[in-house]
Amino acid sequence: MFAGEAPATADDAVYLHGPSDALQVLPWVLIALAVAAAFLTRRRSAGPAAAPVGTVAPSPGGTVGHVQVIDGLRGIAILLVVLFHFWQLSFYAIRIPVPGGDLEYIQVAGFLGVELFFFLSAFCLFYPHALAMAGERPVPTLRHFYHRRAIKIVPSYLIVLFVLGTCWPTLYPSTWHHGKLADLGVHLGFVHNFWAQTRSSFDGVLWSLAVEVQFYVVFPLLARMFRHLPWATAALMVAVALSYRSWARGLPLGEFELKETLLPGFLDLFAFGMLTAYLVVRLQHLQAAAADARRAFTALALVAVVTVLFMFRWLADVRYDGPPLVVWQSMNRHWIGLLFGCVAVASVFAVAAWRRLLANRALLFLSAISYNLYLWHQAVGVLLRKYNVVPADTDVPTDDPRWRWTYLLVALTLSVIVATAITYAIERPLLRLGLRGATRAALTRLRAVPVTGRPGTPSAEEAGNASEWRRHSQRR
C-alpha cells in the first residue's frame, strides 16, 4: 500500500512522518546519563536507608507513605487527558507567548495521559511490595489490597453510572443488542471493554477503568513473582505485551482497535511502573540522592521529558497520515513506558528545584481529584455542547475563536468543581474512615441538623454547647 492510505490491517500501516533526527539522538543521551547516574550512585558506600526525597508520611487510614513527585506526575496525567478531550470538543489550541507558538501538539497527544495513569497505578500498587522486599514493612495482605481498591474505585464509579444512565441515557447511547440493562451488567462486572458496543457506553472514558480493575485481579500474582524475580517478571510482562500487540496488528483494523486496548496490550506499561517502584526503593538504599548523583539524575529527567515531548510532536505529525493513531500507540507503547520510567526514577532523586516543580500545589490538587475528574470531565464537556451552554456567534461553534477558549474555560471549571465535590464529600471520607466510619460520620452530621424550631433558634445541642462555654469562661 502507499503511505497515507487507510490500511486494511494495522500491520499495513505506513506513516509519512518518521521520528525527527533529534528524537533518534535523544535515547542515546538518555543511556549515557543513566550510566553516569548509576556510576555516581554506586560510588557512594551503602548506608542506612532513608526515605526517597519528597516521601510523605502515610495519610490517615493509609499504610504507606507516597512520593510527591509521583503525585505530581498523576496531576500531569489527568491534565493531559482533560486537555485532549476538550481539544476534541473545541479545537482550541492553547497559545504560548512565542511567535506562532501553541501547545496543540501536546493537546493532540494528551490521550497518552491514560498510558501514564496505567504506569503510575502500577508504581503505587507495587511500592509497598518494594518496601517489603527491602525489609521495611510486611507484604500487604490481599484483604487490605482489595478493600482499598474497592473503596477507592467503586463508589464514584457507581455514581457516574447512575447519574449518566438515569439523567442522560442518550448522552452515550448503548447500541448493544442485549439492551441497556445487560450493558449495565457488564459495566458492573468491569468487562465492558470486551465489546465495541459497550466499550464507550454510559461514559466514554470508562473503558480504561475496566483495564485497571482487570489488572487488580492479576496484580497479586504478578507482585508475588516480581518480589522473587523482578527483572525476569518485568521482561516477561513486556514480552507478553509486545507479542500480543504484534498479533493484534495482523487483525482487520476495526477488530484491532478493540483488541489492542485490552489488558494484555498494556502489560508493558504496568511492568515499567512496577520496575520503577522497585528501582526507587533500591536506589534509596544505595544513597542515590547524594549531591553529585542528584545533578546526574536531574539531567536524566530533563532529557527524558524533552524526549517525551518529541514523541508527542511526532504523534501529532502523523495524525493525518492515514493509519489511526492507535496503530502508532501499539508500535511505540514500550518506548513510552520506558520514558515514563526514566522521568519518574530520575525526578524522585533530582535536585530540590525540579522536585518542587513537579510536585507544585496545582499538580498535587489535580492529582487529589484526578479519579473523579477523569470520570466526569468528558461528560461535562459533552453536556455543555449538547445544551449550548456557551453560545457561539457562528452556526458551527468551533468556527468561533471566542467560543473555543470560552468553552474550554467553562468546561474545565465545571469539571473541577464536580470532581472536587465528589472527591472531598465521598471519596476522601471513605478512604479515611472506611465504609462504616464514613456512614457513621454522615449520620452524626445529619442528627446534628435541627429539624424543628423557629429560624435563628439554637438547637438543644447548640444551647448546651453555649452553656458549657459560659461556665468555662466564668471559671477562667
Q: How many Cα atoms are found within 13 Å in the side-chain-facing hemisphere of 413?
A: 8
Lowest mean pLDDT among 88-97, 208-217, 236-245, 433-442: 433-442
Residue 286 predicted with pLDDT over 60: yes
Q: How confident is the model at residue 3 (pLDDT cuts 50, 70, 90)?
A: very low
Give the residue numbers spanning the domain of 149.
20-442
Query: How many domains does the chain contain in total?
Result: 1
pLDDT tens for each residue of 333-351: 999 999 999 999 999 999 9
Sign for the pseudo-dihedral over CA of 378, 383, 384, 385: positive
- 418 within a domain of the structure (yes/no): yes
> Do the domain assignments include residue 174?
yes
In a domain, 454, yes or no: no
Phi, psi of 424, rounded to the nearest 5 degrees: -90, -15
Checking if the pLDDT of 426 tops 70, the result is yes
- Per-residue burial over 213-230, b = 16 or more CB atoms within 10 Å of its CB, e = otherwise: bbbbeebbebbeebbeeb
- Could you identify the residue written with the cell 457507581? 158
Cell 502489560 sits on residue: 267
- pLDDT at position 367 over 50: yes
Q: Given pLDDT bands bounded at 50, 70 and 90, which one contains residue 195? A: very high
Burial of 444 (0-12, 13-18, 19+ CB in 10 A): exposed
Residues 6 or more apart whose Cβ sits within 8 Å of residue 70? 120, 123, 124, 344, 348
Most confident range (mean pLDDT) of 2-16, 30-44, 393-407, 427-441 is 393-407
Q: What percent of the chain clears pLDDT 70, i.e. is strictly above it?
A: 76
- Secondary structure class of 102 (helix, strand, coil): strand
Determine, yes or no, domain membership for 9.
no
In the prediction, which pLDDT does 42 show? 59
Please say if the pLDDT value at position 275 is more than 50: yes
Average pLDDT over residues 20-44: 64
For range 419-430, the mean pLDDT: 94
Query: 92-106, 109-123, 244-258, 439-453 — which one is most confidently predicted on average?
Result: 109-123
Residue 331 lies in a domain: yes
Q: Which residues contact 45 (CB under 8 A, 6 or more apart)?
A: 287
Length of the chain counted residue by residue: 476
Q: What is the pLDDT of residues 438-450, one digit of tens each?
A: 666 766 776 776 6
Q: For residues 99 and 91, what is the distance between their CA atoms, to the nearest angstrom?
A: 20
What's 79's DSSP letter?
A: H
Q: What's the pLDDT score for residue 67?
A: 85
Residue 471 lies in a domain: no
Question: Is 141 among the domain residues?
Answer: yes
Mean pLDDT, rounded, for 82-96:
95
- Answer whether residue 330 is part of any domain: yes
Contact 267/333 with Cβ under 8 angstroms? no
| Cell output for 234 | 518485568
Which pLDDT value is given to residue 97? 84
Q: What is the pLDDT of residue 383?
A: 97
Look at the block and give the residue holding cell 511526532: 314
CB-count exposure of residue 41 (10 Å: 0-12, 13-18, 19+): buried
Q: What is the pLDDT of residue 288?
A: 45
This prediction's pTM:
0.86
Contact 261, 207 (CB under 8 A): yes
Least confident of 211-220, 437-446, 464-473: 464-473
